[in-house]
Amino acid sequence: MIFEKKRSAKELFQTYSGDVFNYSLSILKDYDDAKDAVQEVFIRFIKSEETFRGECSYKTWLLTITRNYCYRKSEGKSNQLQKIDGALPNAYEMNIDSSISLNDALAELSKDEYEIFYLREYAGYSYLEIAEILKISVDNVKVKLYRVRQRLRKYLK
């Protein structure tokens, strides 16, 4: 259990709004939606602050709220609209391995793989933080990252 001294919403906003924004953007893939998400996440945080028991850090708690909010939002969105880029042929599935660049392979990662790789390689979070955000064990984080790497390394030139 991590003990953390109580911090004000304002202070947390100053420290973590960038993290919340980037994580939102990585899920929602839309700048304006991600900006909205930051507001929504902090509103939810303030409303639920009383229930925070310090079982994780403020940071991972905020990012958990972010994750929940963004996935609900993106589900709602894909129900409303037909996904346009979903119509594109999946180059990754269609081609032979050798003709695919690493960037293509990265772009074609599954949602889960993409997310955990984002959290590690872009956001730079520790295994423990990632485990808390994704609600999985640290051992599971280790295995998942290892598997993604094993799969991607063959696309290195």
CA atoms within 13 A on the CB side of 116: 24
From the number of C-beta atoms within 10 Å of its C-beta (0-12, 13-18, 19+), residue 17 rates as middle
92 forms part of the interface with another protein (CB under 8 A): no
Q: Contacts for 140-146 with beta carbons within 8 Å, 24 or more apart? A: 141/116, 144/112, 144/113, 144/116, 145/116, 145/117, 145/120
Q: Considering only 49-57, 74-82, 84-92, 102-110, which stretch makes contact with another protein by CB under 8 A?
A: 102-110
150 forms part of the interface with another protein (CB under 8 A): yes
Position among 8, 43, 102, 112 found at the interface with another protein (CB under 8 A): 102
CA–CA dist 51, 55 (Å, integer) = 11
Position among 19, 30, 36, 108 found at the interface with another protein (CB under 8 A): 30
> For residue 127, what are its two tokens?
């295994």
**Shortest approach of another protein to residue 114 CB, angstroms?**
9
122 forms part of the interface with another protein (CB under 8 A): yes
CA–CA dist 144, 60 (Å, integer) = 19
156 forms part of the interface with another protein (CB under 8 A): yes
Position among 91, 100, 136, 152 found at the interface with another protein (CB under 8 A): 152
26 forms part of the interface with another protein (CB under 8 A): yes
CA–CA dist 34, 41 (Å, integer) = 10
**Which residues make up the interface to another protein (CB under 8 A)?**
22, 25-26, 29-31, 34, 102-103, 106-107, 117-118, 120-122, 126-127, 142, 145-146, 149-150, 152-153, 156
